[in-house]
Structure 1
Amino acid sequence: MRVQTIASLSNNLGTIPPEFIRPEHEQPGKTTFHGPVPELPVIDLANPDQDQVIREIVEASSEWGIFQVVNHGIPEEVVKEIQRVGKHFFELPQEEKKKVAKKPNMKEGYGTKLHLEPEGQKTWV
């Protein structure tokens, strides 16, 4: 079941299906903040100290799982077009997105590399 389907179900049922709710000890630690919200890590690829850049990427990846990259050299118009196309794709109905679903043993396609659990707790994919 995909996130879009789960969201639709939760809107109709008023709740998230219980098999998608992880116990608190399995939930990510940095999802709720009390007080000022910390800023997302920013990695500057123009930094001449490439060892420092690597350390920052490792730290941001392990602590946050996400980071912003600046001074990457990709023109602004290319970034905006990628954002536009991505937004358009994810607004498509699930059936349209399934047409480009990742096939088994393929590296490219829409979907996830995570395995679906037949029973018990489910992964949001």
Structure 2
Amino acid sequence: MASLVSSWASQVNTVPERYVVPTEKRLNVNVPIGKEIPVIDLSHPNSALIAEQIIKASQDYGVFQVINHGVPQELIGDVLKVCDEFFKLPIEDLEKYAEEEELSEFEPNLDQKPKALY
């Protein structure tokens, strides 16, 4: 059975080679480098503008943060607590939830993947 990320991630200091796209296969694009990811305010009254911001952030960064989403802080806290409890389970219990088949080597579809920093 494949090892779970949670069982080795705390001991790893670099990205495993199997997850690194070879230099010759990487996209040659200029990706903006910044310390902040885009922030999208979901309370804005113009839903078309919100959709445009989500699309642009997804295309340019591959990630974004939402604010004013309406999810109660208590619920967010509960979800984080459950996630923390889940990943602190013994490996034997976590293996029950792992997929049975081995994962294939990582090979991104370079035509469809979001832009990334290399």
- Runs of 4+ in structure 1 deviating by more than 6 angstroms, as ranges, are none
CA contact (8 A) 1:6 1:17 kept: no
SS at match of 2:66: strand
Map of 2:97 onto structure 1: 100
CA contact (8 A) 1:6 1:16 kept: no
CA RMSD across the alignment: 3.6
Cα distance change on mapping 1:16 and 1:39 into 2, 3 Å: closer
Identify which of 35, 41, 44 aligns with 1:44.
Answer: 41
Structure 1 letter corresponding to 2:96: K
Counting only pairs closer than 5 Å after superposition, residues 30-109 of structure 1 correspond to structure 2 as 33=33, 37-101=34-98
SS at match of 1:96: helix
Please give the TM-score of this superposition, normalised by the length of structure 1: 0.58
Point out where structure 2 has 5 or more consecutive residues left out of the alignment. Answer: 108-118
Tell me how far 1:50 sits from its aligned partner.
0.6
Please give the TM-score of this superposition, normalised by the length of structure 2: 0.61
Tell me how far 1:102 sits from its aligned partner.
5.3
Identify which of 83, 103, 109 aligns with 1:116.
Answer: 103
Point out where structure 1 has 5 or more consecutive residues left out of the alignment. Answer: 105-114
SS at match of 1:74: coil
Q: Percent identity?
A: 33
Larger RCO (CA within 8 A; separation ≥ 6): 2
